Amino acid sequence: MFLVIGGLAGWCAGLISKGSGFGLAGNVIVGIVGAFLGSLCFGALGIVAYGAIGRFVFSIVGALLFVWLLRFVRK
């Protein structure tokens, strides 16, 4: 389930950030790193996600942050 949410979150982050995505494996990796980053950031703020939809939202936000960091470092 974690890989499915990570893959969908990475794909959504690629679409939202107006990128072409990173391919299937890249989207899964971006999504998994984003899920970790999102839960870490929101956890530090004291915000908790309940259920798959909450984790999916956290993963998308974290994946968007990770995509932004990747593009910032690439430049």
Q: What is the largest CA-CA distance in the chain?
A: 37
Per-residue pLDDT for the chain (75 aa), expressed as one digit of tens each? Answer: 777 887 888 888 878 887 666 777 887 888 888 888 888 999 899 998 888 888 888 888 998 898 888 888 877
Find out whether 1 and 32 touch, Cβ atoms under 8 Å.
Answer: no
Q: Return d(Cα 47, Cα 23) in angstroms, integer.
A: 31
pTM score: 0.82
